[in-house]
Each structure stands twice: as C-alpha cells, then as structure tokens.
Structure 1
Amino acid sequence: MGNLSGKKVLITGAEQGIGKATAKALIEAGCDIYIHYFSGEEGPKELAALATSLGQKAAYGHADLTNEVDAAKCVSLAAEFLGGIDILINNVGGIIARKWMGEIDQAFWKTVIDVNMTTMLNVTQSALPYLKAAKDGASIVNLASLAGRSGGHSGSLVYSTTKGAVLTWTRSLAAELGQYGIRVNAVAPGLILGTRFHNVHTTKESADETISAIPLGRAGTAEDVARTIRFLASEYDGFISGATIDINGGIYRM
C-alpha cells in the first residue's frame, strides 16, 4: 500500500455519511484535502479542524456540481489550494426520491442522472489536467452502489440505472486514462446505515429485512466504505484499475 502522506485529495459531497468518513480516513492517513459540500458546512468545518490539528492543509467549498461552470470553479479552487490533485473521490450522488415506473417524469429522470452522473463528468473532466500532472500517478475512486449490481429495491429504478452506469464509466475510464498513470476504480456499498440516504429513504422494516439476509449479520457503516476507498486511493502507483469492490457483507456475490 502506498504512503498517502502529503497526497492531495479532492473529495465531493463530504458533508456527512460515507464522504465525511472517507475524508476523515484520508486526513488521518496524512493527506492534504479540499472538501466539496452542497448541503451544509458543519461536517467540512469539523474535518478541516481535524486536518489543521494534525499539521495538514484543508479547505472546503460549496458548489452545485451539476452545473459545469460551478464544478470547474470548485476543481480549480481545490487545485490552487492544494498545488495539484493526486486523488479524486467522486462521492456525490443520491436517490432523490423513490418513484415507481409509472411515476417517473422527465424532470425527475434528468435530476437523478445529473446528480449521479453529470456531477461525475463535470468534476472528472475538470480535474483531468491536474491528475495527468501528478508525478507519481493518480487515483480516481467512484461511488457506485449495490443497486447498480442488483437493480435495487422497488422505487429506485432511475438511481439503480445511474449506479450501474457508474460501473461502466469506471471500467471505460480506466482503459482511457491508464496511459497517463491514472487508475480508476469504484466501490459498490450495500446497506450502509447512519447515512442521509438510508435515514431518509429506507424504513426500519426494510433495513431489518435486508440485514436478516446478510451473511455477516449486520448492516455496514460509513467507516467500512471509507477504509476500502482509502486502500484504493493509496494504491495510486499500483496495478488495480477498472475494478469495483463490493462492500455488502456478502449479500451479493459475484
């Protein structure tokens, strides 16, 4: 595993849940970091204070990453603050709402695609020159989902479709960017409780039913995912690329 001390990280959507836990893990590993947020600065402020207490650089900023100009500005501010970008964590995403096939309208369809895919395009495209310039190779980690593997629960049709697209995006981008020493991988979390996603969109009854089928007998935590992302990030000069690591307690096995 590579040494992350001094590596320059841009992470999106790190105000809570998996993003916040991942940012914390990377800070504790020695990274300097720029934290993007959309819906609250309390978490980023806490993370920046942690980094400062450890003698590392940290800053945070708000942006609507579905907007190409806003996303480019966010990436530019991050690269300017950090002096480049070695590691990009594309964490932004969400289900928005549970809607069944007959309820999906064009506006909802576009919103979910924008939140889960357009954000990834905008940020990755803007960050590409900095990732290419990373002297020891660079690492991109994309957040997919078990829903992208299995199709998800009822009402998650559009979300599951976009997360399946993230899996293909990761494989295709790995093939395209390998020549520049940029590795691209994804993680596909299953039921991760304690996140805004499940707090809002998953009932206790649904969570309990899912847990009863998980071989390890528990739901996952944001820290479970963060450890895996930290590993993939640290392999910035390694040989893992185009892979997706499933983090689901064994409920879905490929």
Structure 2
Amino acid sequence: MEDLQGKTALVTGASTGIGAAVAIAYGARGMRVAVHYNQSAGPAQAVVDTIVRAGGEAFAIQGDVRDSAAIARVVRDTNARLGGIDVLVNNAGSLVKRAPIAEFDDALFDEVLHINARSVLAFCREVVPLMRARGQRGSIVNVSSVAARTGGGPGAYLYAGAKGFVSTVTHGLAKELAPDHIRVNAVAPGVIQTPFQDRFSTPAILESFKAGIPMGRIGEPDDCTGAFLYLASAQLSGYVTGQVLEVNGGQYMP
C-alpha cells in the first residue's frame, strides 16, 4: 500500500469505534487525515494525538451531519487544510434508538435517514467536484451494515433501511463516477464492539447476535480496517468499484 503515503482522507464519525480505527490505520500508512466528529471533541483529539505520536499528520474537525451547511463547511475546511481530498469515508451514523413500529414517528424517520442516508449524499455532493477538479483517482468508501441484509436487530428496521439505501446508492454512484476515475465502494460491518453497541444493545441482544456468528465472537474495530485500507489503495483495488465488502465473521454470507 505504498500508494497511500501522502494521500489525504476525510473520515466522518471518526472519534470512536470503526471510524477511529480507520483514521488511525490511515495515519499509520502515511496518509494525512481529517478526523471528523460531532459532539465527541475529546475522543476525536485523542485519535489525532495517536496519529501524530506515530509520526502522522491529522486534525480534528467538527460538524453535525444532519446539517448540510455544516457538511459543506467540513469539506471546504478539510480541502483547504489538506490541499485536496483523495479518500472520503462516510462512516458517521447512528441507530438513534430502538423503536418497535408502534413507537414510530416522523421525527425518528427524519433523524435516522438524515444521519445515515442523506449525509452520505451530502458529503459526496461536496467532495466529488473537488476530486473531479484535481483530475486524479479518488476513492469514496461508504459504511453500510449487515443490518442492510438482515433487517437489523430488535427495533432497528429504520437503521437497517437507511443502510440498505447506502448500499444501493453506492452502486449508483459507482456507475456515475467511474468515468471520472472515482471509485465508490462500501464496507458492511457486522456486529462490532464499539460505543454504538454500548449505547444501543443490551448484553442479551449482543449474546443473541453472537450466537449467529460462525466465528463465535463479536468483532473489534480493527477487524474492519483492512477493508478500508484495501478500498483506499488504487494499487490494490484500482479495478474495484460498486462493491459492498461484508466484514461480519460469517454472520451473513451473500
């Protein structure tokens, strides 16, 4: 992955969990990384410090992905600071809450879809013109979920639907952007032990998930980083676009 040295990346939702692991992995390969966060300023700065201590370059940048104006600012400021964006990782997302259908309301729909679906398109809308203008190969890596395949756990159908949207949009954008030498792929993690699970899944729910994983364990964020490194590297994945890489311990096998 020598081609990653000196490349730039914007990783959204990178203060904790998979996003943090990806940002640190990119930094360790010589990439210059924008660590996006919304409310977790301290953890985001800890990710930056980890990258810098290892000899890399990174900075933290705040923005609410429910706000398209904030997304435009994040991209504009990242582009100015890094001199371009080679890799965009659309990782920011949230289940918001588990809600049976009897508790469904319009506000929940709007929040889940804005955070997990609309934000992906909004970031792409801002980044794609920058990638086109540079005339170099770019890579967009969206984050879907095994929930897009299975419908999700209890009360997570909205989140699952939003991630299904992400997977489908990935295919469409890959077709549109291929002539511009911009590859668009997705990574679909399975059940990964992150603050996301701490917030939304009880021990009983996690045990039920674990029982359906052939590898017999809940994943860790570092189990996902290889897929993101692969998709960022044109040397390794230059002929790969429109794909959804499943990283789930065998929980779902397409």
Name the TM-score, length of structure 2 as normaliser.
0.95
Distance 1:223 1:39 in 2: 23
Moved more, 221-230 or 180-189: 221-230
Give the superposition deviation at 1:41. Answer: 1.5
Provide the rounded CA distance (Å) in 2 between the counterparts of 1:51 and 1:248: 27
**Cα distance, 1:109 vs structure 2:** 0.6
Alignment of 1:3-152 (within 5 A): 3-152=3-152
In 2, are the aligned partners of 1:5 and 1:31 still within 8 Å (CA)?
yes
CA distance in 2, matches of 1:251, 1:139: 27
Find out whether 1:218 has 2:217 as its counterpart. Answer: yes
Contact 1:15 1:39 in 2 (8 A): no
CA shift digits 1:2-30 (9 cap, x unpaired): 62100010111101000000100000011
> 1:2·1:235 contact (CA, 8 Å) conserved in 2?
no
Q: Is the 8 A contact 1:13 1:91 kept in 2?
A: yes
Aligned to 2:154: 154
Structure 2, unmatched stretches of 5+, are none
Distance in 1 between residues matched to 2:19 and 2:65, nearest whole Å: 15
Letter in 2 for 1:164: G
Q: Which 10-residue stretch deviates more, 132-141 or 84-93?
A: 132-141
1:198 aligns with 2:197: yes
Q: Indicate conservation of the 8 Å contact 2:28/2:56, yes or no.
A: no
Q: Is the 8 A contact 2:188 2:244 kept in 1?
A: yes
Q: Residue deviations 1:191-248, cap 9 Å, x none?
A: 101x121101111112112212211111111111122111111137700000000011
> Matched residues, percent identical?
35
- Give the length in aligned residue pairs: 253
- Length-normalised TM-score, structure 1: 0.95
Structure 1 residues 205 and 62, CA gap change in structure 2 (3 angstroms): same
Distance in 2, matches of 1:75 and 1:84, equals 10
8 Å contact from structure 2 (residues 64, 71) kept in 1 = yes
Secondary structure, counterpart of 2:245 in structure 1 = strand
The answer to whether the aligner puts 1:253 opposite 2:243 as a matched pair is no
